Each structure stands twice: as C-alpha cells, then as structure tokens.
Structure 1
Amino acid sequence: MNVASSENLILTFILALGFCLILSLVFGAIVTVFILSKKGKKQLDTQKIETNKLTEKQYKQAIEELDLGINPHEYSAKGLAEKLEASFPLSYQVNVYNRMVDETDFGKIKILRLIREQKRYLLMASLLKNVPMFSDDVDEVWHQMLMFTKSYESFCLSFTGGMIHHEPNVDGTDGEDDRIHFDIMYHVLFGKAPGEEWGIAFRTAPSDYYIREWRRTPKSSLKSKYFSTNENRVAEDIIQSMKFSFDKAESSHTRSKFMEMQRNAERSSTPIVNQSNVDSSLILPYIFWTTIGNYDYDSNLGYAHASNAPSSSSGCSSQSSCHTGSGGHSCSSGSSCGSSCSSGSSCGSSCGSSCGSS
C-alpha cells in the first residue's frame, strides 16, 4: 500500500467518524428537546390541575348559587334537602371536587353542576325504591365519593340511617317505565326537567299500565310500591302532586292551555319541556293529557322535529339500606332492608356490603 492510499483511508475514516459524531449530536439534541417538551407539558398540565383545584373557601363561594332547587310546591322535601347538605361536610365535597379535577377533563362549572346533580340523585335515592342512574358523568361523581370510604359511610348514615350502595345492574337493561318515572319524579321534586347532564328528558311516553296505576291505584299502595318507608311525609306529598297532575290533565279548564302547548310544540324545534316560556307546573299534566288522549307523543312533546335519540342508562345502581332490619326488597331493587333505593349502575358495591368500611 503506498503513502497516498494510506492517507486517503485515514481521511475517509476521519470523515466517517465526524459524520457519526454530528449524527449523534443531532439525535441527542432531538431527544433533549423531546424530553424537555414532555416535561414542560407535564408541568403545565400539573399547574392547570392545581389551578383548577379549590380550597374550602373557594368551593363554598362557587356553590352559593347552586342549591338543590327544591320545587317550592314540595315543602316537605325542603327539609330532606337541608338534611342532605348537613350530612355532606364541606371538606368532603371539596375532596370529591378536587378528585374530579384530577380524574376528568371537565371544567370547574361542569364539575360543580355534576356534584349538584349527584346530590339530587342521592336525595331521590333516599326516597324511592328504584332510581336508575342515567348519566355517566353524574355517576363519575358517585365513583369519586366512594373513593373516600369512611366519609361516604358517615354521609349515608347521617343522611338516611343506612348505606346507599353502588350496585351493578346485572342484566344491563332498564324497565319500560324506568326512564320516564325518573324524569317525572325529578320534575316533581325540583320543578323542572332533568338537565343536559341526564341526556334527553321525557323522550319516551309512559306506558298505559303506568298511567292506569298512578290514576287509579290507592295512595297507600303507591307508597308501598314506589317509596322507601323512612320519609312518609315527602312520599305522601309527591303522590298527592301526581294525583293533582292527573286531575289537571283531565280538567276542561286546562284544555285550552294544552292546545296552545301542542301548537307551540309543532312550531318549535325545541322540546316543550325545555321551552322557557312554558309554565313548568303544566308539563306533567300535559304529558299525561297527551298519553291519556292517545295523541302523538313525539309531536306533542316537540321531538318530531328533533334529531335526538333516546338516552340510555349508565348501567349503575344505587341501593339504600336504611333502617336495617325492617325487611323488604331484594338487591335488584337496591336494598336488603326497608328503604331500598336502586339505581342502575355497573360499578360498585354489592348488596349489603359496607362501602364505607375500608
């Protein structure tokens, strides 16, 4: 090998080595930028979460205008709402709120509204034997409540005298009137249709059996079938409100108002239950009038022009085992004791388990 060949070989080696060094530096720079960007994004996400979290003082200020909104005509339920709030310590509510910040992408206002809806749901679960859960988002609040097992147990015992369990709806289906019954009871208690958190309210008509039962069945039998035994006064008032709504539905004095509502529904793309200019006290009588008179339900409720599909259950259930030892209902309806309160849910404790003991 001559001297020129050796020099060329050495030069080639040096160039290759330099090229590899440059590639290594470029690769290292790319990796460094990627790591720093990921770290920066993580820090920003952490800062965002920490910014969205609230102290007890901030939370208290934020919920001042978000009370449960009990229907003023249901005076007896107001005391139950006050008992729920008294049983739900501010510190526990803040812990649930901040867990929602950590575990979801929801903003502050949405989380606060979901917590209010979960309170309304639990109030219904303390009254009724069957309360299907029709909102995945509200159910998420319930999941976060259950994370604080001791606080949840303390809340339930203070509010109802027993546990409100989170129970699977094993077959994953709801009864024919489960959703309409939920919407009706919600409207009676809170004076309005369930909000967007619950999907589409009053989307399906009550069955003929449901209408006959609530029109003709004695109050005592309705109370025994639908209500838990520990809130007799509230149950009696709700049944009376339902009977009064049926009286309105069959009264000649309200027919002209119903006809006007019918025309509004036909002209508007907004369902009648969501129209702000409609007297909310006429919603249930109008629905009963529509069903009793065999009018087209979708047309009368304003769904004929809407492209909305019926909402579905989250598949989760609540069950309230209040006043242990009073006998009564199976796990499918929620409880092994007198005030069973079920709601369809796919995640949670089994019947009789103590959610708050661990």
Structure 2
Amino acid sequence: MNSPSWITILLVIVILSFIIAFCNFIWNSLRKIRGRQLHGSRKHSSRVTPELPPIVKAGSPASELASRLEAALPATYQDMLKQRVLSEHPDMTEQEYAWRWQELKRFFVLCAVLDRVPMFSRDVDEIWHEMLMYTYEYQQFSERYLGRMLHHAPNTGNEQTLLPTERAWFDTIYVELFGWHEYSAKLWGSFFRVPLPREELEAITSSHFNVNHGQKRFNAWTYEKLPAARTAMDAVIRNLQERVQSAQAEAPRQEKRVSFQNSDVLLAAAVYFAWNSPDQFREHMIPDEQELQKHHSSSSCTYSSACGSGGSDPGDSSSCSGDSSCSSGSSCSSCGSGCSS
C-alpha cells in the first residue's frame, strides 16, 4: 500500500487546525457570554458586599503614606489589573474586587511600616498574583512607592499557625492605621486571636528603643528613607507605648470593655490583655453581646463569625458564608527582601 502523499498529510493538518481553532472560538465565546451575564448581575449581587470605606481611617498616621501609594499607581495600571482580574475570575463581583484591591493596598502600606508582613489572605493574594503579571508596571510601582522592589513570596497556607506573633502585630498595626470592619475580617480572618509578646511590649517602652538600632519589628529602611513611613511609625510606636503604660498602671482585672467598632477602645483592650492576661487573651477579645446583636445582620459574613465569638475558630473559612471565603495563608513580604521561596 502506498504511503499517503504529502498533499493528503497537509490537508489533514489543515482540517485539524481548523477544528481546533473553531473549538477554541466556541469556548471563548461561551466564556465571554457567561462573563457578560455575571457582569450584568454584579450590580445586583454587590448589595451583599458592604460599602467600601476609605483606605485609611480618619486621622490615621498613615494618611501621607497612603497618598504616596495612590500616587505610585497609574490609573491605566489599575484599570488593566481590574479588567484582567474580572476576566480571569468571572464569578467575582466588582464590589468584591474593590474590597480585595483595597485590602492589598492596605497590605502595601503595612509593608512600609513593619519589617515582615505575612500575607494572611488567599483572596487578597489572588489580586497580588494578577498584579505581578504586569512585570514592568509592578516594578515601576515598587520604585515609585518604596524606592526599591516590593517582593512577593509564594503561597504556603500556613501563616496563621506558623507565624502567630506576626499575626498579632499585623492585627495591631492594621487597626491602628485602618480601623476594623467585619468584611476586612472576612478577608483576613478574625483579628486579635493571639496577644503581642510581653517581651516585645517591654522592649518598645524601653528608653533605649530605636527603630534604627537593635529592633527587628519595624521597617528600619523605610524609616530612614521615607518621611511618610517615619511619620506613621512614630505615631504607631508612641500610641503603643502609651497603651502599654496604661496597662501597667491598671490593676489586673478579668473584665474590660472590648469594642470592635471603636479602634481606640479595641487597641487599648488588646494591649491590656496581652500584658495582664495573655493566657486568656483569646477569650477576652470577643465583641460585646450588644454589639454582636447590633451588627449581626450587617454583613453576609456575620459579625460573630468574623470575630470568632461563640467558640468558633476565627481562621476557619467554614464560619463564613457569602461571596468570599475567610481562607487565610499565602505569602509574606517585607520591603526589599520578602520571604524566601
């Protein structure tokens, strides 16, 4: 039997190529149609996601740092990122994207304040991954914002359990700069589950404490190079020192007001119990019952599940419902170095 001629082989290749191209066309068309349907429903589903607050709370010492961050992000870069994310994740609503993007920007602010900042949210980290796809734009953003590269480390999924002290610092500085919101807790996991170490609280109140010498918690590089970061750190440290001094002066007691709707009260309680009752810290740092009832229906992820009250595990994604998970754990970053991959 004669072997097929080259014309026959070429014809088969052309036919197969056409079939593959046609199948890809149909697949992409169906995906776009589904994406448009979901996009059309975003204005309806956004009602289950709360209104987005400002990136920093009123009077935050990080206001100047947040302005520097926003100035380092061109509108074209942000638009490209949003289009890419919503295209790659057609089930994500625009309001949910806005929350994740804002929480990522808050994370970047924290990277200018703290020396090590683990990425505790897989949801927020998804946006970071997509942001990194624009390599040149991301490098330019890092240089404009921090003066050097802001590195990303791969997702591990173990940060909550392996880095409890870093999580305690994350919670404290986050609330100091941005305040607390139940939807933020939905994305990051519950706040104030572990106390700040007493030895670190003692160190920060020492007359010898200096960001540029001997300490390993605050970002000494940005403290030296960026006045906006220095302003934020000085205020954070000063407020923390005052809260530690108050905790030292007060007689130990089992009850103290804890308000998740008042940042000053919340932080004062967190420092007080970290200093005076670290072994019972988790039990103390739950919302007041009246607050619980007042805000119970304000979010698709309930106030109680976001705070881990009632004995629920604050880091357990099963404690939440709605359009975003409470999953945690991904990567860690610090200005200029990041965690090793």
In the alignment, the residues of structure 1 paired with residue 245 and residue 200 of structure 2 have an alpha-carbon distance, to the nearest angstrom, of 16
- Counterpart mapping for 1:97-112 below 5 A: 97-104=82-89, 105-112=91-98
In structure 2, the residue matched to 1:236 is: 234
Alpha carbons of 1:290 and 1:162: their partners in 2 closer, same or farther (altered >3 Å)? Answer: same
Per-residue deviation, 1:108: 1.2
Question: Given the alignment of the two structures, is residue 289 of structure 1 paired with residue 272 of structure 2, yes or no?
Answer: yes
Per-residue deviation, 1:196: 1.7
Per-residue deviation, 1:251: 4.3
In structure 1, the residue matched to 2:21 is: none
1:232-270: CA deviation from partner (whole Å, max 9, x where unpaired): 332222111111221232344x999x9452xxxxxxxxx
- Cα pair 1:163 1:319 within 8 Å, conserved: no
Per-residue deviation, 1:225: 2.0
Per-residue deviation, 1:318: 2.1
In the alignment, the residues of structure 2 paired with residue 305 and residue 53 of structure 1 have an alpha-carbon distance, to the nearest angstrom, of 33
In the alignment, the residues of structure 2 paired with residue 319 and residue 111 of structure 1 have an alpha-carbon distance, to the nearest angstrom, of 24
In the alignment, the residues of structure 2 paired with residue 280 and residue 255 of structure 1 have an alpha-carbon distance, to the nearest angstrom, of 22
Question: Given the alignment of the two structures, is residue 142 of structure 1 paired with residue 100 of structure 2, yes or no?
Answer: no
- Cα pair 1:129 1:227 within 8 Å, conserved: yes
Aligned residues: 264
1:129-167: CA deviation from partner (whole Å, max 9, x where unpaired): 100000000001101110111111111111111110112
- Counterpart mapping for 1:332-343 below 5 A: 335=337, 342=338
In structure 1, the residue matched to 2:55 is: 68
In the alignment, the residues of structure 2 paired with residue 260 and residue 305 of structure 1 have an alpha-carbon distance, to the nearest angstrom, of 18
In the alignment, the residues of structure 2 paired with residue 150 and residue 68 of structure 1 have an alpha-carbon distance, to the nearest angstrom, of 25
Percent sequence identity over matched residues? 24
In the alignment, the residues of structure 1 paired with residue 177 and residue 114 of structure 2 have an alpha-carbon distance, to the nearest angstrom, of 12
1:87-127: CA deviation from partner (whole Å, max 9, x where unpaired): 11112112111222122222111110100000000111122
SS in 2 for 1:203: coil
TM-score by length of 1: 0.64
Bigger-Rg structure (1/2): 1
SS in 2 for 1:201: coil
- Cα pair 1:176 1:207 within 8 Å, conserved: no
In the alignment, the residues of structure 2 paired with residue 171 and residue 72 of structure 1 have an alpha-carbon distance, to the nearest angstrom, of 34
- Counterpart mapping for 1:293-312 below 5 A: 293-294=276-277, 296-302=280-286, 305-310=310-315
SS in 2 for 1:163: coil
In structure 2, the residue matched to 1:316 is: 331
Question: Given the alignment of the two structures, is residue 45 of structure 1 paired with residue 29 of structure 2, yes or no?
Answer: no
SS in 2 for 1:218: coil
In structure 2, the residue matched to 1:166 is: 152
SS in 2 for 1:124: helix
In the alignment, the residues of structure 2 paired with residue 127 and residue 153 of structure 1 have an alpha-carbon distance, to the nearest angstrom, of 20
In structure 2, the residue matched to 1:87 is: 72
- Cα pair 2:42 2:93 within 8 Å, conserved: no
Alpha carbons of 1:46 and 1:286: their partners in 2 closer, same or farther (altered >3 Å)? Answer: closer
- Cα pair 1:183 1:201 within 8 Å, conserved: yes
Question: Given the alignment of the two structures, is residue 218 of structure 1 paired with residue 238 of structure 2, yes or no?
Answer: no
Per-residue deviation, 1:38: 8.3
Alpha carbons of 1:170 and 1:287: their partners in 2 closer, same or farther (altered >3 Å)? Answer: closer
- Counterpart mapping for 1:132-211 below 5 A: 132-168=118-154, 174-192=162-180, 194-211=184-201
What RMSD over aligned residues (CA atoms) do the two structures have, in Å?
3.4
In the alignment, the residues of structure 2 paired with residue 80 and residue 39 of structure 1 have an alpha-carbon distance, to the nearest angstrom, of 42
Q: What is the letter of the counterpart of residue 107 of structure 2? A: Y
- Cα pair 2:114 2:334 within 8 Å, conserved: no
Alpha carbons of 1:170 and 1:138: their partners in 2 closer, same or farther (altered >3 Å)? Answer: closer
Per-residue deviation, 1:320: 2.4
Which segments of 5 or more consecutive residues in structure 1 lack a partner in the other structure?
Answer: 1-36, 55-63, 262-271, 322-334, 336-341, 345-349, 352-358
In the alignment, the residues of structure 2 paired with residue 285 and residue 222 of structure 1 have an alpha-carbon distance, to the nearest angstrom, of 26
- Cα pair 2:132 2:138 within 8 Å, conserved: yes
In the alignment, the residues of structure 2 paired with residue 273 and residue 133 of structure 1 have an alpha-carbon distance, to the nearest angstrom, of 25
Alpha carbons of 1:110 and 1:216: their partners in 2 closer, same or farther (altered >3 Å)? Answer: same
Q: What is the letter of the counterpart of residue 87 of structure 2? A: D
- Cα pair 2:115 2:218 within 8 Å, conserved: yes
